Amino acid sequence: MNFGLEETLKYLPTSERESLLRSIEEDKVVHCCYLNQSKISIEDFLKQYPNVKAHPFVKGAFIYSKEEYDLGKSILHSAGGIYIQDPSSMMPVYFLNPNRGDRIIDLCAAPGGKTIDAALALQGSGLVVSNDISYPRAKELSSNIERLGLGNVIVSSVPPASLSEAYPHSFDKVILDAPCSGSAMFRKNSLAKEDWTLEKVNSCAALQLKLLEEAYILVRKGGAIAYSTCSFSYEENEGVVKAFLAKHPDIKPRRLIDHPSFYKSESCPEGIHFFPSRFEGEGQFLIIFDKDGEEEVPSHNERKSNPEVKKHLDFLKNWNLEDRYTCLRGDILYSLPCYFDCGKLSVLRYGVALLNVKDKAGVPEFALSHYLPSSISIPLTKEQAKKYLIGEAFPLSGKDGFQVVSYNALNLGFVKIVKGIAKNHFPKGLRHRY
């Protein structure tokens, strides 16, 4: 390997650098998933997939062989029971350690792994504002949030500077998984290696420092920032950290635990490198910054009265949603655990989409079926589930009207029962033949 990467690794001792370079050349990709435990318990998952290995730190995450379990093509994945994510990518939120009720912002969120980690850690409470400047990537992010059935996430697509201008000192925690040169992606994406240059490293480092400045404005006193990259280069990690700390004496890097699978450099012992030569994953750099000062933590449970939703109260009560904040955006009724003023931001998703009111009768949104508990669903047989997932109608006993259907206690979506026939409302773009 002689295309400049070694130049950016000179901060490493020779043995560490050589073992890292060897691991990058290995023909190996690690597969891991994180359970959505509101949909499937660890016990039930292990009954179905016994030959998995627990993540060394993150409870409810499992490393698996794709040859044995192609989980990306499973009903469990389609129903939002799991999110597939690199094991090292799970570590920033693990160390950030969200508390119930926290207000969190994820600045560069797509495709959504760290947003999902944080939203699940909040256990349905609090709020995650999940942003990506790229609208197409934000749409992919929104789709992943919908599939997981998360009801405490706002998805937006604006420049981070717009967020810091609108919401200074407003968040308990900030996640910044910064755009980077991507050397930790070499094993799983050959194009990443072809695209890598020293110029890109330096360009990314400048952008990363700018994004950290936005994160600094967004986080309140007493709050925390998780800064991470999927780069091995000093310039994007220790170099950016050093420049950021020099500008902000009120920011303190948090000293994290030591472990044989972590590498900490002498120049920045608070940061952790999850090198693939040590840690089972593709690689990540992480540091947690704490912002000095004490500030009264504002209540994040504000619920504003919203007269326009009163006409939908029967619908909300039918699905046990009346205690959440509900609002109408365009033709879609949305729900969040608490009120959040999005102002003029470009918002793709304001919590969980409940109801399309364009039709006078109202049509429940697919996202709602994945948010609701399976206890309110009509269980399907295997044959009925197959028919549902390919878009067919089928006989089904139940009360006329819209009903949620499930398979193996996993909600699949809505049907509309008319005189014993289930009219299919599974989205056409998601239909597969299993």
Residue 346 tokens, joined = 């470009």
- Statement: residue 2 has pLDDT above 50: no
Nearest to 378 by CA among 341, 417, 345, 343: 417
pLDDT at 341 over 70: yes
pLDDT band at 301 (very low <50, low <70, confident <90, very high): low
At residue 65, the 3 state secondary structure works out as coil
Per-residue pLDDT tens over the stretch 355-367: 999 887 789 999 9
pLDDT at 4: 81
User: What would the DSSP string read from start to end of 7-21?
Assistant: GGGTTS-HHHHHHHH
Sign, Cα dihedral of 346, 348, 351, 356: positive
Q: Which domains does the chain have, with CATH numbers?
A: 10-25+87-291 (3.40.50.150), 31-85 (no CATH), 301-372 (no CATH), 376-434 (2.30.130.60)
Q: SS3 string of 336-359?
A: ECCCCCCCCCCEEEECEEEEECCC
Residues 6+ apart with CB under 8 A from 183: 5, 8, 24, 192, 196, 230, 231, 232, 233, 283
- Give the C-alpha separation, 265 to 17, whole Å: 12
69-123 pLDDT, tens digit per residue, is: 999 999 999 999 999 999 999 999 999 999 999 999 999 999 999 999 999 999 9
Q: Which of 172-181, 311-320, 423-432 has the highest mean pLDDT?
A: 172-181
Q: In angstroms, how far is CA 354 from the centroid of its own chain? A: 21
* pLDDT surpasses 80 at 243: yes
* Dihedral (CA of 302, 350, 113, 385) sign: positive
Whether 28 and 39 have beta carbons less than 8 Å apart is answered as: no
Annotated catalytic sites, by residue?
230
- Kindly state the average pLDDT of the residues 293-319: 75
Question: So what's the pLDDT on residue 50?
Answer: 98
Report how far apart the first and last C-alpha atoms of the chain are (Å, whole number). 42
Long-range residue pairs from 133-137, CB within 8 A, at least 24 positions apart, any chain:
133/108, 133/157, 133/158, 133/159, 133/160, 134/110, 135/346, 137/110, 137/111
Confidence band of 190 (pLDDT split at 50, 70, 90): confident
Task: Return the minimum-mean-pLDDT range out of 12-16, 63-67, 147-151, 186-190.
Answer: 186-190
Residue 229, SS3 per DSSP = strand
What pLDDT digit, counting tens, does each position of 391-421 carry? 999 999 999 999 999 999 999 999 999 999 9
Tens of pLDDT, residues 170-187 = 999 999 999 999 999 998
**CA angle in degrees (0–180, nearest 5) for 158-428-113:** 40
Residue 418's beta-bridge partner residues? Answer: 421
**Nearest alpha-carbon partner for 115 in 411, 349, 369, 300:** 349
Average of per-residue pLDDT values in the chain: 94
Split at pLDDT 50, 70, 90, the class of 353 is very high
Q: Looking at the whole model, is its pTM more than 0.85?
A: yes
According to the model, what pLDDT value does residue 174 have? 98
Concatenating the DSSP letter of every residue in 153-209 gives: EEEE---HHHHHHHSTT-EEEEEEE-----GGGTTT-HHHHHH--HHHHHHHHHHHH
Residue 111, preceding peptide bond in cis (omega within 30° of 0) = yes
Is a pLDDT exceeding 80 seen at residue 378? yes
Task: Read off the tokens for 41.
Answer: 């318990």
Confidence of residue 252 (pLDDT cuts 50, 70, 90): very high
Q: In angstroms, rounded to a whole number, what is the distance separating the alpha carbons of residues 40 and 37?
A: 5
Q: What strands lie across the sheet with 378-379, from one edge to the other?
A: 378-379, 401-407, 410-418, 421-424, 394-395
Local structure of 388: helix, strand or coil: helix
* 76 Cβ contact list (under 8 Å, min separation 6): 40, 48, 82, 410
Listed in order, strand segments (DSSP E) in 8-107 are 31-35, 53-54, 61-64, 82-84, 103-106
Instruction: Indicate the length of the chain as a whole number.
Output: 434
pLDDT at residue 304 is higher than 70:
no
